[in-house]
Homo-oligomer: A and B are copies of this chain.
């Protein structure tokens, strides 16, 4: 495996890892209907504004969202909505997991 390929995996992993947190996932889900300000996001996810601001910074740094200043408020919006497609696949994984679990339990 070449160094270039490793770097590429690192870059990709950073983007995916940015989405791999409950609060950040909730933010992504909340933004699917359009841009939102930090305080409304904080209300939705039920976390402190400072914490939400940091999570938004992670998503912004990864390139998943973009920001726009509107008066006092900073509005955030999804930049690449395809991340929403992650959800479908992930739900499929969870369903498979649940199916497997029930199958194992039925063998008792």
Residues of A within 8 A of B (CB): 1, 5-6, 9-26, 29, 44-46, 62-64, 79-80, 82-83, 85-94, 96-97, 100
A14 to B91, alpha carbons, bound, how many Å? 12
- Chain B residue numbers with a CB within 8 Å of A83 are 89, 93
Q: Which of B6, B29, B82, B96 contacts A80 (CB 8 A)?
A: B96
A20 to B80, alpha carbons, bound, how many Å? 18
The residue among A1, A29, A44, A90 with the most chain B CB atoms within 10 A of its own CB is A90
CB distance from A108 to the nearest CB of B (A): 21
Q: Once the chains bind, are B20 and A17 in contact (CB under 8 Å)?
A: yes
CB distance from A77 to the nearest CB of B (A): 13
A41 to B96, alpha carbons, bound, how many Å? 24
- Chain B residue numbers with a CB within 8 Å of A22 are 6, 9-10, 12-13
CB distance from A84 to the nearest CB of B (A): 9
A100 to B86, alpha carbons, bound, how many Å? 23
